[in-house]
Amino acid sequence: MMNDQNISTLMAEVLSDSSGAITPPIVQTSLFSFDTYKDFEDRMAGRTNQAIYTRIQNPTVAAFEGLMAKAEHGEAAVGFASGIAAISSTLLAFLKPGDRIACVEHVYPDTYRFMERILRPFGVEISYHSAAEFENNEDLLAGVGIAFLESPSSVIFTPLNLPKVAQLAKRHGTLTMIDNSWASPVFQRPLTLGIDIVIHSASKYISGHSDTVAGVVVSSQPHIARIRDLTLSLLGAKLAPFEAFLLTRGLRTLNARMMQHQATANLFVDRLAAVPQVVKINSPGANEVPGLTGRSGLISIEFNDNVDIPKFCDALKHFRLGVSWGGFESLILPARVGLAQAGEKNSMQAFGVSPNLVRMSLGLEDAEDLWADFMSALSQSAT
């Protein structure tokens, strides 16, 4: 019996290679040639499925896509050059003229910018709703073609009751898409909860090593075929074979890494409750909403006014200042810096977040070392 939770056990099946190689080869080629005129003609006419060109198909990329489809319990998957390419290419593959999108409020900041800076000027109507509105006000889905979800949301990590939202969306014929990067397939499998399309920034937990930028979409065969045919082919933001190799390597340890991220996050959440400077901890855990089976290492903490946040950030030794998350190294992103982001406003600027909030990516360093670092920095940063 295959252990459902353990993605690592899926590897053998997908990667079986007659050569005995234990890792997939990196097939670094742009095109694939044909033995005969007839083979070439048959392929171009769609009668066979041999790879033609790496913009559309590549065996190293296909190995990663096969693993992701299994991990998310989907029929098929398609890789992209980045998480935002996966998001934009999926939305553009399904949007129709005059469509309306219902989106979660604290969506990933660049997803919000994609909606506002590219889709809205093309005439797409977009409305934003809190988790409570999505769960309790089904009228907001009337006439909505696409519900774009992210659960938990970015920065404040509000989780959604996905089975409930999926059920309401089905009643209105609304296609549901979810950004599942925070939970990874280890802690949440939205397709099994009734959601139509799952999207990941694979730059985060799936890669796990902060060494690649990539994205992936998992869904039914027809949905993935549509994305492949339209926006993968014609916008062309494909996943590269070398990046796919790194992601396949990342998937081997995803389960083990998520368990350690969870253990460290549990330790932080337990102890933070007793820290007087902490006003709020944003870190949904197992069973907080149906279908969420664990706590990832990406949390946020709201301090009271007695913490000098710049001083706190500079006093930390293990947490580096930076964007992104999900790798070995622990990171901190103060909300004030995110709120100061130049250019068209992002979702945190639009929907608000406390300036006393810090987002922390709890990495794979020793949990007690991380906690000692946190408390030491806090003691040095009293206002």
Ligand X SMILES: *Cc1c(COP(=O)(O)O)cnc(C)c1O
Q: Is 85 left (phi over 0), alpha (psi -120 to 50) or beta?
A: alpha
Contacts of residues 28-34 at CB distance under 8 Å and 24 or more positions apart, as own/partner, are 28/241, 28/242, 29/54, 29/58, 30/54
Tokens of 170: 């089905």
Residue 215 sits in the site that holds ligand X (CB under 6 A): yes
Residue 188 sits in the site that holds ligand X (CB under 6 A): no
Residue 108 sits in the site that holds ligand X (CB under 6 A): yes
Distance (Å, whole) CA 333 – CA 331: 7
Looking at beta carbons only, is 154 or 184 nearer to ligand X?
154
What count of other Cβ atoms lies within 10 Å of the Cβ of residue 354?
Answer: 16
Among 179, 196, 243, 302, binds ligand X (CB under 6 A): 179
Distance (Å, whole) CA 242 – CA 190: 28
Looking at beta carbons only, is 243 or 302 nearer to ligand X?
243
Residue 203 sits in the site that holds ligand X (CB under 6 A): yes
Element (H, E) at 341: none
Residue 201 sits in the site that holds ligand X (CB under 6 A): yes
From 24-32, 121-129, 201-209, 234-242, give the range in contact with ligand X by CB under 6 A. Answer: 201-209
Residue 90 sits in the site that holds ligand X (CB under 6 A): no
SS3 content of the chain, % helix, strand, coil (to 5): 40, 15, 40
What count of other Cβ atoms lies within 10 Å of the Cβ of residue 123?
Answer: 9
Residue 210 sits in the site that holds ligand X (CB under 6 A): no
- Count of residues engaged in binding ligand X, rule: CB under 6 A: 12
What residue is closest to ligand X based on CB? 83
CB of 56 to ligand X, least distance (A): 20
Distance (Å, whole) CA 347 – CA 338: 10
Question: Which is nearest to 374 in space by CA: 323, 325, 316?
Answer: 316
Tokens of 328: 């070995």
CB of 107 to ligand X, least distance (A): 8
Residue 84 sits in the site that holds ligand X (CB under 6 A): yes
Taken in order 207, 156, 137, 293, the sign of the CA dihedral is positive
Tokens of 292: 């969420």
Among 103, 124, 156, 213, binds ligand X (CB under 6 A): 213
CB of 331 to ligand X, least distance (A): 12
Distance (Å, whole) CA 365 – CA 350: 34
Question: Which is nearest to 353 in space by CA: 338, 368, 369?
Answer: 338
From 58-66, 120-128, 197-205, 357-365, give the range in contact with ligand X by CB under 6 A. Answer: 197-205
Residue 105 sits in the site that holds ligand X (CB under 6 A): no
Looking at beta carbons only, is 191 or 214 nearer to ligand X?
214
From 112-120, 199-207, 284-292, 336-344, give the range in contact with ligand X by CB under 6 A. Answer: 199-207
Residue 284 sits in the site that holds ligand X (CB under 6 A): no
Residue 154 sits in the site that holds ligand X (CB under 6 A): yes
Q: Half-sphere exposure of 324 toward its Cβ, with a 13 Å CA cutoff?
A: 21
Looking at beta carbons only, is 181 or 356 nearer to ligand X?
181
Among 24, 74, 79, 83, binds ligand X (CB under 6 A): 83
Looking at beta carbons only, is 184 or 381 nearer to ligand X?
184
Question: Which residues sit at the interface with ligand X, rule CB under 6 A?
Answer: 82-84, 108, 154, 179, 181, 201, 203-204, 213, 215
